[in-house]
């Protein structure tokens, strides 16, 4: 009997998918494993790569592409009682499954176990070096997991799997899991290496816009539920973005009107102080102070594109439309 099903989702992952499947095949611990690759209309050779490595392949042709569709197709086709979800641009740590599986088997109230995801190539760009810290969460019982996680299949059946969202589908589902008195554990152990492949400003911006859409949609969906999520964060982000935009516009406008650099430098100084304060607060995430400072700049500035994503969600809802997939790769 198959003990573990690994569901890998992807779209035009290419060589990254090959590395992902091989990392699953190389994991430690003897257990029957089935690998299911769910492809979302790739135009490259991703399906052929998966088949050549022995993975069962499914192809979905959604009108509104979303990771949730691939994940639902994968776990519904799986035969094992435990499902490991991976994105096609990740590498599985060889020891994670054995660590997480023991937790699930010893603790029936735990439905989901996830570990540390880190960037595989943080040195490739400042974006990846900075965003690597985005993946770091404190261990313990958590409100939600990310896209890579080990889950009980029976719990997925109980909650009906993932909602058809273009972003934020894992946090949304996790609240329905918690409503059934299950727990989500984030373990202090390496889980996956990830390849964001972000080297351009436009990619960074779109990723943050995507996060803003998730904030808005998930907070609206769950606002009257037993476990509301991101209510405070969504409101706080809009306020923070408005303050930053006013700061930039006012300081720049005064600099032009007074023909002096002083107002602009003052505004920039305030922004740098806010960034430095954030870097100090998250110093537990890294020992590299320059990376922490970059992360502080990112944490402050990202409020603006996230706000654009939030407003975009409400604009599309006002039009009576659902926004399509926001891709940054």
Q: Nearest Cα to 266, choosing from 278, 250, 281?
A: 250
The whole-number pLDDT of residue 30 equals 65
Q: Nearest Cα to 195, choosing from 4, 23, 33?
A: 23
Q: What is the mean pLDDT of the chain?
A: 93
Same domain, 174 and 239: no
The whole-number pLDDT of residue 250 equals 95
Same domain, 181 and 266: no
> Mean pLDDT across the stretch 129-156?
95
Same domain, 138 and 179: yes
Same domain, 10 and 98: yes
Which structure tokens are listed for 252? 């720049």
The whole-number pLDDT of residue 225 equals 86
Same domain, 93 and 170: yes
> Mean pLDDT across the stretch 274-280?
96
> Mean pLDDT across the stretch 291-300?
97
What percentage of residues in the chain have a pLDDT greater than 70?
Answer: 99
52-66, 89-103, 141-155: the lowest-pLDDT one: 52-66
Which structure tokens are listed for 185? 């554990």
The whole-number pLDDT of residue 77 equals 94
Which of 199, 222, 253 is the endpoint of a domain? 199
- The Cα angle at residue 311 between residues 309 and 313, in degrees rounded to 5: 70
Strands (E), 180-316: 183-194
Same domain, 179 and 271: no
Same domain, 9 and 70: yes
Which of 199, 216, 248 is the endpoint of a domain? 199
In a domain, 145, yes or no: yes
Query: What is the total count of domains within the chain?
Result: 2
More confident: 329 or 151: 151
Which of 199, 222, 242 is the endpoint of a domain? 199
CA-to-CA distance for 156 and 78, rounded, in angstroms? 12
Residue 276, domain extent: 231-318
Same domain, 29 and 161: yes
Same domain, 11 and 156: yes
What are the beta bridge partners of residue 34? 5
In a domain, 216, yes or no: no
| 3-state SS, residue 145 | coil
What percentage of residues in the chain have a pLDDT greater than 90?
Answer: 83
Model pLDDT for residues 9-58, shown as the tens digit of each residue: 988 888 899 999 999 999 987 678 899 999 887 888 888 999 999 899 99
| Residue 120 and residue 194 in contact, taking contact as beta carbons nearer than 8 Å | yes
In a domain, 328, yes or no: no
> Mean pLDDT across the stretch 218-236?
91
pLDDT confidence band for 2 (50 / 70 / 90): low
Same domain, 36 and 172: yes
The whole-number pLDDT of residue 1 equals 54
In a domain, 307, yes or no: yes
CA-to-CA distance for 64 and 69, rounded, in angstroms? 9
In a domain, 174, yes or no: yes
In a domain, 175, yes or no: yes
User: Beta strand pairing status for 90-92 and 56-60?
Assistant: unpaired
The whole-number pLDDT of residue 199 equals 94
> Mean pLDDT across the stretch 63-71?
85
Same domain, 243 and 149: no
In a domain, 225, yes or no: no
In a domain, 305, yes or no: yes
Model pLDDT for residues 228-274, shown as the tens digit of each residue: 899 999 999 999 999 999 999 999 999 999 999 999 999 999 999 99
Same domain, 170 and 292: no
CATH number of 83's domain: 3.90.550.10
């Amino acid at each position: 009997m198959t003990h573990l099903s690994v569901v890998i989702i992807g779209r035009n992952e290419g060589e990254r998918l090959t590395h992902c499947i091989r990392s699953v095949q190389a994991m430690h611990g003897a257990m029957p494993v089935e690998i299911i690759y769910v492809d979302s209309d790739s135009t490259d050779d991703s399906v052929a790569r998966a088949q050549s490595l022995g993975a069962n392949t499914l192809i979905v042709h959604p009108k509104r592409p979303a990771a949730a569709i691939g994940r639902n197709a994968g776990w519904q086709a799986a035969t094992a009682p435990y499902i490991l979800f991976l994105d096609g641009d990740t590498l599985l740590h060889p020891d994670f499954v054995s660590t997480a599986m023991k937790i699930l088997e010893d603790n029936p109230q735990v439905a989901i176990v996830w570990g540390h995801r880190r960037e595989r190539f943080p040195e490739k760009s400042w974006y990846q070096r900075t965003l690597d810290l985005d993946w770091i969460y404190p261990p313990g019982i958590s409100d939600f997991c990310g896209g890579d996680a080990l889950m009980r299949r029976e719990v997925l059946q109980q909650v009906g799997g993932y909602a058809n969202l273009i972003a934020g589908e894992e946090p949304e589902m996790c609240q329905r899991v918690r409503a059934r008195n299950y727990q989500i554990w984030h373990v202090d152990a390496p889980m996956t290496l990830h390849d964001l492949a972000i080297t351009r400003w436009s990619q960074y911006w779109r990723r943050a816009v995507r996060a803003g859409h998730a904030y808005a949609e998930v907070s609206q969906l769950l606002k009257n539920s037993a476990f509301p999520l991101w209510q405070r964060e969504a409101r706080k982000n809009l306020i923070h973005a408005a303050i930053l935009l006013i700061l930039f516009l006012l300081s720049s406008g005064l600099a032009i009107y007074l023909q002096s650099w002083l107002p602009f430098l003052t505004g920039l100084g305030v922004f740098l102080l806010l960034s430095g304060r954030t870097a100090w607060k998250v110093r537990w995430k890294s020992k590299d102070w320059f990376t922490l400072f970059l992360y502080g700049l990112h944490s402050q500035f990202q409020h603006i594109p996230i706000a654009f994503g939030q407003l975009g969600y409400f604009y599309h809802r006002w039009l009576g439309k659902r926004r399509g997939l926001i891709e940054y790769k």
